[in-house]
Amino acid sequence: IYRKTAPTSLPAFLLIGPSGAGKTALLTLLERGNPSPTHTSQAPLSVEITLPSDTAAASNKYRSASDPTAQKNSRFLLIDTPGHGKLRHFASAQLVAPQNLKGIIYLVDAANLSSDSAGVSGSSSSGLTEAAEYLHDILLALQKRYTNTKTSKGPGETPVLIAANKMDLFTALPAPLVKAALEAEITRVRDTRAKGLLDSGIGMDEDGDREERDWLGDGGEGKFTFKQMEEVNVVVEVKGGNVVGGQGGEVGEWWEWISRQL
């Protein structure tokens, strides 16, 4: 059913996130209108999606519906990637692949992030840590892509949607709390990574100072916030939804975000 190679001219969105977040379920929902049963993914999967007619793409706002370009602009490519820790090279490869990348959708299971689910007070859950580590690495890759580009123009803006999924579950954190939890945990990940590099002597210059290259966001020692990513042209938004439950899920805010990037 799926084409292996799709026309590269279509705007593309990359679907990334930990295993079990619901990436493939979201892909089947957006493609068919209802989610199909999934297995954990072992390879990337690209499908062509057409925006529902009630979500007009931002660039179509002033075009009439009969305009043929309006049709074209509502189509895009969605690239699903496996979330398993050993298969993340597929996602990294897509980040640098020559394509018309319009944005990144980082899907997380919002019901698997609460910090008390590990049982030990003060320690964070493995779900939160995994989600923050993976997101840290993706954002760092985008930051490096920006800082390594020598041309004055640099890569264009990279919008990142953090899609807080599984809002149908009562244990799910609301989107503002997902944002706060991920920012706090990325702050910890960043410190841990820096300390690891320090201990090994890697990542320091001759004077023993920490190299800024592998430090995500602001150079300071304070808290990491997604806002800091705007310095490197990465705009992060966090929006809640659910793929399963309700009539065809609750994905309106995500559709709206996608249509704004088209």
What are the distances in angstroms from CA 3 to CA 46, 51, 113, 181?
7, 19, 35, 38
Total residues in contact with Mg ion, by rule CB under 5 A: 3
Q: How far is the CB of 155 from ligand GTP (least distance, A)?
A: 26
Q: Which of 169, 184, 197, 235 binds ligand GTP (CB under 6 A)?
A: 169
How many Å apart are CA 89 and CA 20, to the nearest integer? 17
Phi, psi of 191 (to 5 degrees): -65, -45
How many Å apart are CA 262 and CA 117, to the nearest integer? 38
Q: How far is the CB of 233 from Mg ion (least distance, A)?
A: 28
**Which span (51-59, 118-126, 197-205, 239-247) binds ligand GTP, by CB under 6 A?**
239-247
Q: Is 240 in the site for ligand GTP (CB under 6 A)?
A: no
Q: How far is the CB of 28 from ligand GTP (least distance, A)?
A: 8
Question: Is the Cβ of residue 194 or residue 244 nearer to ligand GTP in the bound state?
Answer: 244
Q: How far is the CB of 21 from ligand GTP (least distance, A)?
A: 4
Q: Is 46 in the site for ligand GTP (CB under 6 A)?
A: no
How many Å apart are CA 217 and CA 223, to the nearest integer? 10
Q: How far apart are the first and last CA of the chain?
A: 25
What are the distances in angstroms from CA 208 to CA 111, 189, 204, 234?
42, 21, 5, 30
Q: Which of 11, 13, 30, 41 binds ligand GTP (CB under 6 A)?
A: 41
Q: Is 165 in the site for Mg ion (CB under 5 A)?
A: no
- Which among Mg ion, ligand GTP, none contacts residue 242 (Cβ within 5 to 8 A by kind)? ligand GTP
Q: How far is the CB of 216 from Mg ion (least distance, A)?
A: 26
How many Å apart are CA 63 and CA 255, to the nearest integer? 19
Question: Is the Cβ of residue 8 or residue 34 nearer to ligand GTP in the bound state?
Answer: 34
Structural tokens at position 66: 């009969």
**Which span (2-10, 20-28, 214-222, 232-240) binds Mg ion, by CB under 5 A?**
20-28
How many Å apart are CA 128 and CA 228, to the nearest integer? 20
Q: Is 217 in the site for ligand GTP (CB under 6 A)?
A: no
> Within positions 33 to 52, which residues make up the interface with Mg ion, using CB under 5 A?
41
How many Å apart are CA 45 and CA 64, to the nearest integer? 33
Residue 78: which residues within 8 A CB-CB, separation 6 or more? 12, 13, 15, 27, 30, 31, 46, 47, 48, 49
Q: Is 31 in the site for ligand GTP (CB under 6 A)?
A: no
Residues of this chain that interact with ligand GTP (CB under 6 A) are 17, 19-25, 38, 40-41, 82-84, 165-166, 168-169, 242-245
